[in-house]
């Protein structure tokens, strides 16, 4: 199985390539990881210019010899190439699985909105560098190579689901790239924000007309929370319950997703 690795957002860290390749060679010998040279190019903040990142994406996605796309890392920038990429995806792209999270929620959402491929919110190749990162990336490699369901988020219950970083979800609202999530369970997570910003993002989610008809909301990890001055006075549990109440959808509890070693797979739709 050939898995193409791309960096549609921020510059990739070359230090991830050797350990993830070595782990895959030992644990998943049927897998051939192919890192696009674009991953390590630089154009300011980004892993190459918008045009370069888009052309690399299209090269791998439209290549019938590549079976799946696994994103190297997030950061910021995949939204900037959507208008270049989505209209130009061909037949081969429609049969691939795409795995990533964080900023790659832009891509996963846009693919799902257009019925292209099998988008999955899950660990990326650079997660090998986390403590216990071999276990983390094994969830994605196992799903891609063997259809291994052990890495799936354990609360998936047979209803269609989708997962997003909360900041990415908020940025998608009001755009043509947000999929119709009616009757879906929505899983959300966040990282590196103060609590007031998390609350503001939940306000955006709760009042978005594009998100009407959700089956429920689950809250994943909210990590690396930045200091709030003055100290924030509400718990995450209180906040999410309040905004789900305003939204008129059930709060269905916690989820094992986020910018952590325990991040698990959430296939968009029904697993």
State the average pLDDT over residues 28-52.
Answer: 98
Angle (CA) 177-181-184 rounded to 5° is: 150
Distance CA 153, CA 253 (A): 13
Longest Cα separation, the chain: 55
- Cis amide linkage into residue 167, ω under 30° from 0: no
Is 112 inside any structural domain? yes
Whole-angstrom CA distances from 26 to 19, 20, 23, 141 are 11, 10, 5, 12
Is 226 inside any structural domain? yes
State the average pLDDT over residues 202-209.
Answer: 98
Question: Could you list the residue range(s) of the whole structural domain that residue 225 is in?
Answer: 161-267
Domain CATH code at residue 134: 3.40.50.10740
Is 192 inside any structural domain? yes
Q: Is the Cα torsion angle 61, 85, 116, 210 positive or negative in sign?
A: positive
If asked whether residues 180 and 228 sit together in one domain, one would say yes
If asked whether residues 107 and 222 sit together in one domain, one would say no
Radius of gyration over every alpha carbon of the chain, rounded to an integer in angstroms: 18
Is 261 inside any structural domain? yes
Closest CA to 224 of 251, 253, 198: 198
If asked whether residues 60 and 11 sit together in one domain, one would say yes
Is 153 inside any structural domain? no
State the average pLDDT over residues 133-161.
Answer: 98
Is 223 inside any structural domain? yes
pLDDT cut 90: percent of the chain above it: 100
If asked whether residues 8 and 123 sit together in one domain, one would say yes
Give the model's pLDDT for residue 82: 98
Is 154 inside any structural domain? no
pLDDT cut 70: percent of the chain above it: 100
Residue 80 structure tokens: 């900037």
State the average pLDDT over residues 146-170.
Answer: 98
If asked whether residues 181 and 250 sit together in one domain, one would say yes
State the average pLDDT over residues 228-256.
Answer: 97
Closest CA to 44 of 75, 83, 11, 6: 11
Instruction: Give the model's confidence band at 122: pLDDT under 50 very low, under 70 low, under 90 confident, else very high.
Output: very high
If asked whether residues 58 and 140 sit together in one domain, one would say yes
Give the model's pLDDT for residue 13: 93
Instruction: Give the model's confidence band at 262: pLDDT under 50 very low, under 70 low, under 90 confident, else very high.
Output: very high
Give the model's pLDDT for residue 239: 97
Give the model's pLDDT for residue 173: 98
If asked whether residues 170 and 248 sit together in one domain, one would say yes
State the average pLDDT over residues 129-146.
Answer: 97
pLDDT digits (tens, 9 = 90+) for 166-198: 999 999 999 999 999 999 999 999 999 999 999
Give the model's pLDDT for residue 85: 98
Give the model's pLDDT for residue 141: 98
Per the document, the length of the chain is: 271
Give the model's pLDDT for residue 123: 98
Is the pTM value of this prediction over 0.95?
A: yes
Q: To the nearest whole number, what is the mean pLDDT of the chain?
A: 98
Distance CA 120, CA 100 (A): 7
Give the model's pLDDT for residue 93: 98
If asked whether residues 188 and 263 sit together in one domain, one would say yes
pLDDT digits (tens, 9 = 90+) for 49-81: 999 999 999 999 999 999 999 999 999 999 999
Give the model's pLDDT for residue 197: 98
Give the model's pLDDT for residue 196: 97
Is 206 inside any structural domain? yes
Distance CA 84, CA 174 (A): 19
């Amino acid at each position: 199985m050939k898995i193409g690795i791309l960096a549609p957002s921020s510059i990739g860290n070359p230090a991830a390539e050797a350990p993830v390749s070595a782990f895959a060679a030992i644990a998943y010998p049927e897998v051939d990881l192919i890192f696009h040279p674009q991953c390590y190019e630089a154009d300011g903040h980004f892993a190459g210019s918008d045009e370069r990142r888009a052309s690399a994406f299209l090269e791998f996605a439209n290549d019938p010899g590549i079976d799946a796309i696994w994103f190297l890392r997030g950061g910021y920038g995949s939204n900037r190439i959507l208008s270049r990429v989505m209209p130009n995806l061909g037949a081969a792209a429609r049969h691939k699985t795409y795995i990533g999270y964080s900023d790659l929620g832009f891509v996963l959402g846009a693919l799902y909105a257009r019925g292209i491929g099998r988008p999955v919110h899950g660990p990326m190749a650079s997660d090998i560098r986390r403590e216990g990162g071999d276990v983390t990336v094994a969830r994605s490699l196992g799903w891609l190579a063997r259809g291994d369901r052990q890495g799936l988020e354990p609360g998936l219950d047979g209803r269609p689901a989708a997962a997003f970083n909360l900041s990415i979800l908020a940025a998608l609202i009001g755009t043509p790239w947000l999929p119709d999530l009616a009757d879906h369970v929505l899983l959300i997570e966040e990282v590196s924000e103060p609590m007031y910003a998390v609350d503001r993002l939940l306000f955006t989610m709760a009042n978005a007309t594009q998100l009407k008809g959700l089956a429920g909301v689950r809250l994943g990890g909210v990590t690396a929370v930045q200091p709030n001055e003055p100290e924030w006075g509400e718990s995450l549990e209180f906040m999410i319950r309040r905004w789900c109440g305003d939204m008129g959808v059930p709060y269905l509890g916690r989820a094992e997703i986020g910018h952590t070693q325990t991040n698990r797979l959430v296939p968009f739709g029904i697993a």
